Amino acid sequence: MPDQIIVIHRWSDRYADYESYVDHGARRVSYVTTGRAAGSLPERAAAVRTVRSTEDGKEVRAAVASLVEEFGRPARIIALHEVDLDIVAELRGELGVPGETPGELAPFRDKLVMARRLAAAGVPVPATEPAADHAAVSAFAAVHGWPVLVKPVRGTASAGVTRLGSPAELAAYVFPRDMPMLVQPYLPDVILHVDGVATGTGLGAWRASRYVNTCLEFTEGAALGSVELDDPLLTKAVGEFTTRVVRALSAGPWVFHLELFLSGTPSAPRLQVLEVGARPGGAEVPFVWKEVHGVDLMAAAFALQMGEPLPDAGRIELGAERGGWLLVPTPVARPCRVVAAGSRAGAGDETGGPVDGGSGGPYAQRVPVVGQTLTDLAGYEHSGARFRFRGRSADEVEAAIRRTIQDFDFRCTPIDPDAPERVVLVGSGGRAYREYAFADAAARCEVALAGPVEPTWQSGYLAGHRSVADPGVDALTRAVGECVAGAPGPAGVFTWDEVLLEVTAAAAARLGLPHMSPAAARNCRDKLATRRLLRESGLPGVAFAHVRDQEEALRAADAIGYPVVVKPRSLAGSVGVVIVHDAEDLRGLYHHAVEAAYPGLDPLDGLLLEEFLSGPEISVDSVVRDGDVRPANVARKRLGFDPFFEEVGHLVSPWRREPWADDLTDLLVEAHRALGVQTGVTHAEVRLTAAGPRLIELNGRLGGDFIPYLGKLATGVDLTAAAVDLALGLTPDLGQSRDICAEVSFLYPPQDGVVRSLDVSCAAAVPGVVEVVRLAEPGARLLLPPRGVVPRLAAVIVTGDTPEDCRRALDRASELVRAEVEPLVAGGAR
């Protein structure tokens, strides 16, 4: 087996292109990341472990330990973000893995060690001393004068840096707990940063830049920009000084980000080291280097941590073009909601990404959308807005940066945690099947509706709505954003519509709202992806094949062994799913799967063949928060219309004492992990085979067919309210208030026909019946499977202490439903 490489990863954006750095087919590359950042990982990752924060050493160690247990000790452990370098260096020592040790890392992470190493080598640095308490800072200021800077010894991105201008300000300053601090004089000098590669013998590719405003001013609310220098005298002096710095700190090759104080004149500049990191620069530096200069600094850092030679790109001479970038902080304290983000002239791309860089504007940007929630995530990646620039000179780039600062209209409002909560529901579903869920959601918080329909019966439950004729990601994002932009309190978004799951996940990601990730939604929607990921995770096997024509299906069925199930990859409601018992069956029934259609869903390439799993089928609704999977509701399926898999009823009954309960829970926990599902209410379909539970599929939304309603009747657990809580980032209440049985039975016409009348009044009066829901109105044309999709007359919903109680009530009530259905003949009704 190939050696394992473990990567600690924290970026949501694609700062690092790991798949181009190492062959994920030839090497086993595993990742430890956060739920938010998991979507930016390569699809061919060998394994992914999620943690709440990569700065949580305990969680990271546990995740790495599980990867070591599964795949063995890694050959390398990699981290490219500055903050993650410490834990990776410690893990290398603990596991005996080659690479930079904590001692070797200290001059780049511990600013006291850094300053002393540089001073010993004769490189100018400001006076730097430990700041254990107020007395130490006061003593330092007595020697060096006010103002002073107090900063973390191992900080990054100016987080925690404070300027103190007097003894009175020092007296009011509160030192952070368990965080070593240092003190330096405040220098009102120009600040430069130098990024590039040291080859071990000198400088490879490098570029010096000047900040527009300072990192400290950015923490205080000012925009922060950077423009690459083109002054030849200053550039020459910076290059010579940088060579001294890199030689003083390391004799080998390394990627560096150096910050300097600049004073004096262009012809006689005076330089001092502010700080230096052994990693690519932050903010937009890696993107500018790739896009303007054609050099991937992340690739160079990755290669060096792998123990490989420095890539040739790290040694090239850069061209004449200059780059720059701009970060705009949020104008109010986070968490906040965006109410405007764009050009004051009305132009600009509010959705972010590449833009036309003409007329002196940015060539790329990441701009929040109206309605987006900005949380308190740290780091330059999570700035309010980000822009990148390129030009023929430093003056041209700086002018574009300053124009953008002037032109960018960015307004936000703080989120009031005590104001009413609002959740936007995407899509509706039919009244008969989903009105109970609307009522449950509206009882929990304000509900707004976004989607392709104008509200009618839904209006009584709504606090607002936006209709979207064609719910693509951009249009839906705008609609949801408009629904929440005016809400002062916490907000969320979710859907119970399978057709809209992926687009809702994408809109939620853009808006910064809690939701299953777009990648996880795709993994659930594509049944082939589900099967592959489950196999790769080592879950109990289900033989399957991806086929594109009937002959290929016949060969695959022979290999798997009959009976097999044929199904479309991406439809819903069991449409097109059929069991075949032999080759003749397969030839006769294959076309049903090929021709199957479901409104709003496009079939993906090919079909899926799976071994038939023998045993009772159940569905399980689970509540997932931060990767913690809690099965909450088990329904035993009633299937009909063989060889098709029409669901004709569901029974929710006590299950936690069943002999398969623990194995079922373990299966669901591992399946959610394999598919990357970190949050949401999910609906799994499972077969209870003689060899144990086996997953058929995992749907990323509330169950249909009244199953959540049955769960509430049987257990008291409101899964709709749980979905709302998860959308708001809250922990749902899953405490059961009862443990009885609830069942639904669907009534079908005896043959294809047109409904002429339907009377359920007598059935509704049967003891044990909760309600009888009319599912067809006079004039409805119903075609039995496989010709029609859920061609039902009515749903009878009952409760009872036992399954037998439910069955008796169902049988009696079903007999009392009076339906007149006119049979269809060729060409229409008789």
Torsion of CA 199, 205, 210, 212, to 10 degrees: -110
Closest CA to 223 of 233, 212, 231: 212
Write down the pTM of the prediction: 0.86
Same fold, 543-611 and 613-739: no
Q: Does domain 322-414 have CATH number 3.90.1170.60?
A: yes
CATH code of the domain made up of 743-829: 3.90.1170.50
Closest CA to 273 of 150, 104, 114, 113: 114
- Among 50-59, 298-307, 740-749, where is mean pLDDT lowest? 50-59
As a whole number of angstroms, the distance between CA 369 and CA 374 comes to 10
461-492 pLDDT, tens per residue?
A: 999 999 998 889 999 999 999 999 989 999 99
Average pLDDT over residues 646-652: 95
SS3 percent helix, strand, coil of the chain, rounded to 5, is 35, 30, 40
Helix residue ranges, H only, 716-799: 719-727, 761-764
pLDDT at 825: 74
As a whole number of angstroms, the distance between CA 740 and CA 711 comes to 10
Closest CA to 519 of 38, 92, 51, 17: 38
CATH code of the domain made up of 127-185: 3.30.1490.20
699-711 pLDDT, tens per residue?
A: 999 999 999 999 9
pLDDT at 703: 94
pLDDT at residue 349 above 50? no
As a whole number of angstroms, the distance between CA 160 and CA 151 comes to 6
Tell me which CATH homologous superfamily contains domain 543-611: ATP-grasp fold, A domain (3.30.1490.20)
The CATH number of domain 422-512, selected from 3.40.50.620, 3.90.700.10, 3.40.50.970, 3.40.50.20: 3.40.50.20
621-635 pLDDT, tens per residue?
A: 999 998 899 999 999
pLDDT at 351: 44
Average pLDDT over residues 199-208: 93
pLDDT at residue 14 above 60? yes
Binning pLDDT at 50, 70 and 90, where does residue 823 land? Answer: very high
- Among 110-119, 155-164, 319-328, 399-408, where is mean pLDDT lowest? 155-164
pLDDT at 619: 97
Helix residue ranges, H only, 561-603: 583-595
Binning pLDDT at 50, 70 and 90, where does residue 575 land? Answer: confident
As a whole number of angstroms, the distance between CA 334 and CA 425 comes to 25
Average pLDDT over residues 398-410: 96
Helix residue ranges, H only, 198-348: 215-219, 232-249, 285-288, 297-305
pLDDT at 552: 94
Average pLDDT over residues 51-68: 94
360-372 pLDDT, tens per residue?
A: 789 999 999 999 9
pLDDT at residue 378 above 80? no
Binning pLDDT at 50, 70 and 90, where does residue 206 land? Answer: very high
As a whole number of angstroms, the distance between CA 254 and CA 304 comes to 7
Q: Does domain 104-124+188-319 have CATH number 3.30.470.20?
A: yes
In single-letter form, the type of residue at position 737 comes to S
Nearby residues of 188 by Cβ (< 8 Å), 6 or more positions away: none
120-159 pLDDT, tens per residue?
A: 999 999 999 999 999 999 999 999 999 999 999 998 777 8
Question: How confident is the prediction for the chain on average, in pLDDT?
Answer: 92
Q: Does domain 4-99 have CATH number 3.90.170.10?
A: no
Where are the domains positioned within the chain? 4-99, 104-124+188-319, 127-185, 322-414, 422-512, 543-611, 613-739, 743-829
Binning pLDDT at 50, 70 and 90, where does residue 348 land? Answer: very low
**What percent of the chain clears pLDDT 90, i.e. is strictly above it?**
82
**DSSP E strands, 103-253:** 129-130, 148-152, 162-164, 181-185, 190-198, 203-212, 224-228
The label of the residue with tokens 């790991």 reads 18
Torsion of CA 560, 561, 565, 569, to 10 degrees: 10
As a whole number of angstroms, the distance between CA 389 and CA 322 comes to 8
Average pLDDT over residues 452-463: 94
Looking at CATH, the fold of the domain delimited by 613-739 is given as D-amino Acid Aminotransferase; Chain A, domain 1 (3.30.470)
As a whole number of angstroms, the distance between CA 76 and CA 564 comes to 43
DSSP secondary structure of 109-126:
H-HHHHHHHHHHTT----
pLDDT at 48: 87
pLDDT at 209: 97
Six-digit token string for 683 = 């609906």
pLDDT at 350: 42
267-276 pLDDT, tens per residue?
A: 889 999 999 9
Binning pLDDT at 50, 70 and 90, where does residue 347 land? Answer: very low
pLDDT at 346: 58
Other CB atoms within 10 Å distance of the CB of residue 823:
12
150-181 pLDDT, tens per residue?
A: 999 998 777 889 999 999 999 999 999 989 99
8 A C-beta contact, residue 677 and residue 520: yes
234-264 pLDDT, tens per residue?
A: 999 999 999 999 999 999 999 999 999 999 9
**For residue 548, is it left (φ>0), alpha (ψ between -120 and 50) or beta?**
alpha
Q: What is the largest distance, in Å, between two alpha-carbon atoms of the chain?
A: 103
pLDDT at 471: 86
